[in-house]
Structure 1
Amino acid sequence: MRRPALTAAALTGALALTGALALAGCSGSGTDAEPDAGSGKAKLSVSSPYMPQPVSADMAAGFLTIANDGGAGDELTGVSSEVAGQVTMHSTVGGAMAEKSSFAVPAHGRLVFRSGGDHLMFEQLTRKPRQGQTVTVKLTFAKSAPLTVEMPVKSATYNPSTGH
């Protein structure tokens, strides 16, 4: 059985089509792998979450950083956890603590919850978290999908800058 030979024109057309398809597959689409700063969407991620082991049986604090690598701001509007009846957000300015209903997460910026500053309060604890355990936290935003974070429980005196 003899196969028909490809003509130069047919071969050139096939190579051009193959090249075009390969290039189409390589074009950026603004997915999670490559943030598209011009997309007008927030691209949120969480780092450095931790909860110092609470000293009281009914209340604990939590800390984390929310980064926004996207081209639009968002707003943290709520926090919940199975370990607490409620989780509230607090700002600390000049040593005065005030509960807030939301926090801005600016485009290309960060929202930092840290000891001595803005922080989360876990109130009405259903159990007292112990060092070495993790606490599941759900973060709710005005525009973006919720994020679920596993927050490790550290020693009561844990200092993130030293790791101890």
Structure 2
Amino acid sequence: MSLLEALTNQQHIPKFSLTATTPSLPSESQQALIHHLQETGSLGELSSLLRDSLARSGWTDRVKALSLELLRNGTCATFPELMTEVMRRATLPKTSSSQQQQQQNGMNGAGSIVVAKEWTGGPDGLPDVRVPNNVVEVGVEFLEDKIKDACYRVDDDGEPVS
């Protein structure tokens, strides 16, 4: 069990969903998919893949920097307060300005190529700890590949999607 799992299982730290919508699968289907992923050893692979992708994107460094700043400036005084605030910030919706910035495809405002990692400051100047879309896409692609033998996707009319 990871530190994050151990911490979120405690009663005084609320659990958060990092997805914008609630799951649409029936609980039996969710359980069957999780069981399939456990049997194939894919959950460990997914964990490693996401951990590495988050680290490469600079997300883990931003979480550390945000945590230190929240403790330093007195916004948070205890670990549960810190976890709650970091998770709240991780689940904030994207703003239109951050979406416009991503649409510039690696170009800064002057049209020059940006060599450093993408800008990661939030609107208040503190590090942005929302999970990057490219990391989510990596996880989704991995899961789609691992569950393709256990299930298939259908559209709203119940027709299989290729």
> Please, what TM-score do these two structures have when normalized by structure 1?
0.21
State which structure, 1 or 2, has the greater radius of gyration over its C-alpha atoms.
1
Structure ranking higher in strand proportion: 1
Structure ranking higher in helix proportion: 2
